Structure 1
Amino acid sequence: MDAVKKYCVRHGIAIELRSEGWLIVMHRGPRRHFAFGYDIGLNSAIAHRIANDKAATAEVLEISGIACIPHALFLNPRLNEFVAARGSWEAMLRLLERHPSGIVVKPNEGTTGKSVFMVSTKPALELAVNRVLASNASVSISPYVNIEREVRVVLLDHLPVVVYDKDRPSVTGDGKRSLLELALAATPVEQRSAVLPGMVGDLDRADLDAILPLGQRRVLNWRHNLDSGARPILLEQGEIRDACVKIAIEAAKAIDIRFGSIDVVQVDGGLQILEINSGVMMESLNRFHPDLVDDAYSAALDKVFHEAR
């Protein structure tokens, strides 16, 4: 949260970090304000809880008539008193049968993009679910869709402060080298720890060793996370940006969120909401556009301290 620290220094606000840096205590005169994790305190508790729950977010968007990727909730079997008597495994298998091209398994709560798996077989589904539930209280499952582009819209009181496309790393075949060789050659050393693990984990040895035909483009990761090697491309004013901002604002209004990041995906030419995050996490973006990140947090904290007067 360097942007928060910079803001406090500029405005003469005392800042104190507690709980291993997760709790930020800000003092200005008699006023004391808390930020926790990536939540600076502008959102209501219920808006924060809904946004942090992927299945709940999808439910709210669906009943609000907003196009979104559906997410089905499954509780950890350890919460047996809350789990339906019929169990969850059969329902998971039905989802897999309904979506033969694959389903995505991930923690139902959280914003890190970790422990996200795309599976298309029963053994892979069982392994992915067990991995997620080993450290989470619940899992959400959504259909795997061919995402043509993913745009993140950061909104503050329904106004866009940051809008960027997530450009995944890719290579183009030369008819001589394998996919793995091309990926190693195209990926800077400092980016390999972000790009390569996801690719190697998703593909088998035959895919990695296959010679990529001349001129064929291959995306190295199906995930669009910046932490997985995608690059943020700021969207200029135009039709695509306007359309993404429009549906993002509709989604923010549906759950009554003031400051958050909304992931908008383009599937078969149409726009849908993938996720909403009430904790605005921008460390990865900060590597490319630090001034933009500072401006976004400054605008949000201006509202925090102005409204506290």
Structure 2
Amino acid sequence: MSDAARPGGGAIRAPAARPGWVRRGQRLALKLADLRAVRARRGFDGLRGRYYDTLWTEAARDVGASVTALPGGIHEIRRGALRTFVRRSELMLDSALAERLMADKTLTYRLFAEMGLNLPEHQDFSLSDMRPAAELLSRHPAGIVVKPATGTGGGRGVTTGIRDTVSLGRAARYAASFNARLLAEPQITGHNYRLLYLDGQLIDAVRRDPPMVTGDGRTDIAGLIRAENARRKAGAPVLALSPLIIDRDCLNTLAAAGHTPRSVPRGGERLDVKTAINENAAPQNHHVTGEVHPDIAAQGARIARGLGIRLAGLDLFSADIAADPATAAPVFGEINVAPGLHHHHLTAAPPEGPATASCVLAYLLDRKEGVMTL
């Protein structure tokens, strides 16, 4: 096995391959360790269901329609002879195959590259051959990210802030417990944005900041996270639809700031506790639709239309969403089919215009798209 040269001297050696039975045992151990996180997320199922029940009830009222809750979290929405069915953020627009294809991050990057988009450098790899990831790390010693290449969402299996091969091996084994195909890419700087398109029209954009807690001078970070999860689960008001999980991403983020879960922040100190933004809460989400540079908005529309995704959540990184993309060079991450509409409702302040779900529902019924006529 060859070494990958580290810029400035030295070398990074890919973690040694382990026998198959060892790898299988490690993946099983990681899955068992993840059971606590699974139980924590399932503890929010009731809140998530109630939230979307309210969301669609209010959206139906806004457009003069009626709504009936059906088993399985499905809502039947009627206006005159028109009828549509929704399930949380799933609409009668995009196919299950389209969702599956766009969930494959490697395929998405290939399609983005064919469209001439600015992408992060990335490497496919597996536990049986870690060399591509180790070589990427050697080129980006400031840190890389490892994630499953497909089969997950919501940040599951993702580890950020990887700066050495020990962390790389640990992150790869964690990601492989979700999917054998793995993806490594550099840690990208800049803000994380979600642009929401409906049939190629930009209908909302939010800046999504990392999850954070605020110190009280007495409670350690683990305790602050427990208190934050209790507030979230109480749902009064609804702040988030998932808990904060102390996982490897959390540990790496804290370590980079010189902390551990047992550290006690100063009173009033605001501290990012994860780098992946999927588990953030309403105070960390900000509407920026009016700030999006026209060329970025147009480029996003071209992507959504080109890939044939009707309701598309386009994720990108940029230091400034208002800057000319010719100079700011935003980096495109992924495109989500049936993206979570709650990201556009659970925000620090309400949007200036109509609520996103109401806009979507009005579009469906007014244009007779994704509906039945009975």
- TM-score bin (small chain): 0.7 to 0.9
1:293 counterpart residue number: 356
User: Displacement of 1:74 after TM fit?
Assistant: 4.1
Given that 1:51 and 1:276 are in contact with CA atoms closer than 8 Å, whether structure 2 keeps it comes out as yes
- Pairs aligned (count): 291
Q: What secondary structure, in the 3-state scheme, does the structure 1 residue paired with 2:202 have?
A: strand
1:132 counterpart residue number: 175
1:113 counterpart residue number: 155
Q: Which moved more, 1:221-230 or 1:130-139?
A: 221-230
The reply to whether residue 39 of structure 1 matches residue 90 of structure 2 is yes
2:278 counterpart residue number: 225
Q: What secondary structure, in the 3-state scheme, does the structure 2 residue paired with 1:165 have?
A: strand
User: Displacement of 1:8 after TM fit?
Assistant: 5.7
The reply to whether residue 92 of structure 1 matches residue 143 of structure 2 is no
User: Displacement of 1:57 after TM fit?
Assistant: 0.9
Q: What secondary structure, in the 3-state scheme, does the structure 2 residue paired with 1:164 have?
A: strand
Distance 1:256 1:190 in 2: 39
User: Displacement of 1:208 after TM fit?
Assistant: 1.6
Distance 1:163 1:180 in 2: 34
Distance 1:159 1:244 in 2: 12
User: Cα deviations across residues 182-218 of structure 1 (Å, max 9, x unaligned)?
Assistant: x959x967369956836752233981279999xx986
User: Cα deviations across residues 18-66 of structure 1 (Å, max 9, x unaligned)?
Assistant: 3xx3x66778899876656643131245543332111111110111101
The reply to whether residue 201 of structure 1 matches residue 251 of structure 2 is yes
Distance 2:102 2:258 in 1: 37
Residue of 334, 342, 347 corresponding to 1:275: 334
Quick one: percent identity of the two aligned structures?
21
Distance 1:178 1:102 in 2: 32
The reply to whether residue 264 of structure 1 matches residue 323 of structure 2 is no
2:105 counterpart residue number: 54
User: Displacement of 1:153 after TM fit?
Assistant: 0.7
User: Cα deviations across residues 96-135 of structure 1 (Å, max 9, x unaligned)?
Assistant: 2232222111222333122210112212112112112213
1:248 counterpart residue number: 300
Structure (1 or 2) with the greater strand fraction: 1
Given that 1:154 and 1:160 are in contact with CA atoms closer than 8 Å, whether structure 2 keeps it comes out as yes
Distance 2:70 2:281 in 1: 31
User: Displacement of 1:307 after TM fit?
Assistant: 5.7
